[in-house]
């Protein structure tokens, strides 16, 4: 079974994910606002119908792009290596499919000293590269 360890990890961290997904235990006001108002916003946005956004993942990506229009979406380790060379404090990165295809890439990013704040949302990861922040990983 592919990535059996990741499936066990997801089961083991389910209560922790629920706790952080609702903003509990997040001490940074910036990160709390990002979790509550961008990543897991429940209200409908004005453009969902106009853009034909039906599934929650496409709606979430749309909200992330509204929050930071310069966000980059990557799908492979090679893309990350090229992207890593030009990161700044304002850089924001979305990594797709971190539980299966990009599991190794996600582990690489978690240990990368340039990646300061990471949000593990089970299928998608969000990475902030602000060098003034202390390294933190949120499991949502």
In this predicted model, what pLDDT tens digit does every residue of 1-11 receive, in sequence order? 556 776 777 77
- H, E, C per residue of the chain: CCCHHHHHHHHHCHHHHHHHHCCCCCCCHHHHHHHHHHHCCCCCCCCCCCCCCCCHHHHHHHHHHHHCCCCEEECCHHHHHHHHCCCCCCCEEEEECCCCCCHHHHHHHHCCCCCCEEEECCCEEEEECCCCCCCEEEEC
In this predicted model, what pLDDT tens digit does every residue of 67-114 receive, in sequence order? 999 899 999 999 999 999 999 999 999 999 998 899 999 999 999 999
Residue 39 to residue 36: CA distance in whole angstroms: 6
Average pLDDT over residues 25-37: 85
- Could you give the percent of the chain with pLDDT greater than 90? 54
Is a pLDDT exceeding 70 seen at residue 37?
A: yes
Can you give the residue range of the structural domain that contains 15? 4-139
Residue 33 to residue 48: CA distance in whole angstroms: 21
The contacts of residue 39 (CB under 8 Å, 6+ apart) are 60, 63, 64, 119, 121, 126, 140
> Model's pTM, two decimal places?
0.82
Tokens matching residue 96: 């797709």
Could you tell me the pLDDT band of residue 58, with boundaries at 50, 70 and 90?
very high
- Could you give the percent of the chain with pLDDT greater than 70? 89
Task: Give me the number of domains the chain comprises.
Answer: 1
Please, what is the average pLDDT of the chain?
87
Average pLDDT over residues 24-43: 85
Tokens matching residue 26: 């997040």
Is a pLDDT exceeding 90 seen at residue 19?
A: no
């Amino acid at each position: 079974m592919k990535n059996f360890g990741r499936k066990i990890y997801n089961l083991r961290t389910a209560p922790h994910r629920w706790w952080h997904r609702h903003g509990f235990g997040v001490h940074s006001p910036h990160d709390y606002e990002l979790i509550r108002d961008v990543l897991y916003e429940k209200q409908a946005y004005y453009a969902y119908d106009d853009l034909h956004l039906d599934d929650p993942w496409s709606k979430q990506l749309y909200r992330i792009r509204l929050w930071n229009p310069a966000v980059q979406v990557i799908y492979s380790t090679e893309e990350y290596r090229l992207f890593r060379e030009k990161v700044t404090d304002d850089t924001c990165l979305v990594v797709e499919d971190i539980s299966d295809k990009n599991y190794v890439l996600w582990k690489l990013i978690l240990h990368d000293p340039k990646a300061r704040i990471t949000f593990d949302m089970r299928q998608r990861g969000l990475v902030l590269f602000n060098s003034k922040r202390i390294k933190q990983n949120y499991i949502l």
